[in-house]
Amino acid sequence: MMSFTAPLAFLPEGLDGGGLLALLLAAFAAGWVDAVVGGGGLLQLPALLLVPGMTPLQALATNKLASSFGSATSSISYYRSVRPNLRSALPMAGVALLSAVGGASLAAFIPAEVFKPVILVALVGVAALTVFKPSLGTVTKHHPAGTKRAAWAFVAGAGIGFYDGLLGPGTGTFLVLALVTVLGYDFLMASANAKIVNFATNVGSLILFIPLGAVIWPLGVLMGLANVLGSFIGSRMAVAKGARFVRVIFLIVVAALIAKLGADIWFGAQR
């Protein structure tokens, strides 16, 4: 009988049953967080980077495969319950998909350390704005219409899509922020629209990663199934509890992003 810690032949060498269980739990938690407000990559990507022999590119590509399962699930769940504005979401998703391909093409060449300080400053600003403006994202307000709305959606989709292809963690959080502050959605509606765009960015990244052979399929599919379960529960919970609940989770995820990026920058400077 195979012991719980024995290596599994169809998974990366050195990954045993205990390690697989830890990855599946991380994928479930990531699916829940992603469905509510984004930022599940904070859990899933670092967990993959701990797998023995896993290269950063393989971890990023496998993370995208697993995340695509969850973002598809939460997109469908939100669409049935919240009816997101597809006139904003679909064009934004199309632009983000193309930008994600561009970002993914540079993922192996540009170090994350170049972007981390800029992202950290932006996140601190996001947290301050959300804390000191409690009404932000509690209700859907009148948002820019027609050409102006399309232009803002294009800019946000292009920039965030590129970031997702290049790095990834926190993409859903940035999407929610853009949809709340620029287009005037409440946090629940922003999360619903963000999932559609996030699914597109995952697909865009995979368009490049799959031909490169960077995706570890057995592991990605197993984590994807765990991600689906977390996404289903998270999206249902967000719809049931409303925008204020999503706002609280948003602040928690932003705080976690700030802590992680701050630690990365600090310890990187000490080396």
The C-alpha angle 75, 80, 82, rounded to 5 degrees, equals 85
Are 159 and 209 a contacting pair, CB within 8 Å? Answer: no
Cβ burial 81-120 (10 Å sphere, 16+ → b, else e): ebebbeebbbbbbbbbbbbbbebbbebeeeebeeebeebb
Mean pLDDT on 3-14: 58
Q: Which domain holds residue 71?
A: 17-270
Domain count, the chain: 1
Name the token pair of 252: 């928690």
Residue at 70 is within a domain: yes
- 121 has pLDDT over 90: no
The chain-wide mean pLDDT, for the chain, equals 83
Helix ranges restricted to H, 133-242? 146-166, 171-181, 187-212, 217-241
42 Rama sector, left if φ>0, alpha if ψ -120 to 50, beta otherwise: alpha
Residue 16, phi then psi, degrees to nearest 5: -100, -175
- 270 has pLDDT over 70: no
Which comes out higher in pLDDT, residue 3 or 262? 262
Q: Give me the pLDDT at residue 136, please.
A: 59
Q: Give me the pLDDT at residue 92, please.
A: 92
Residue 6 binned pLDDT confidence (cut-offs 50, 70, 90): very low
Q: Which residues pair with 7 in a beta bridge?
A: 16
pLDDT digits (tens, 9 = 90+) for 153-170: 889 999 999 988 887 777
Residue at 189 is within a domain: yes
Residue at 245 is within a domain: yes
- 145 has pLDDT over 80: no
Mean pLDDT on 223-241: 94
Residue at 12 is within a domain: no
Residue at 6 is within a domain: no
Residue at 261 is within a domain: yes
Residue at 2 is within a domain: no
d(CA 75, CA 187): 15
pLDDT digits (tens, 9 = 90+) for 59-113: 889 999 999 999 999 999 999 988 887 877 888 999 999 999 998 888 767 665 6
Residue 2 binned pLDDT confidence (cut-offs 50, 70, 90): very low
Collect all residues with Cβ–Cβ distance below 8 Å to 115 and sequence separation of at least 6.
163, 166, 167
Q: What value does the CA radius of gyration of the chain take, rounded to a whole number of Å?
A: 18
Residue 257 binned pLDDT confidence (cut-offs 50, 70, 90): confident
Residue 200 amino acid letter: A
The C-alpha angle 241, 177, 187, rounded to 5 degrees, equals 20
Residue at 7 is within a domain: no
Name the token pair of 3: 């012991």
Q: What is the largest CA-CA distance in the chain?
A: 64
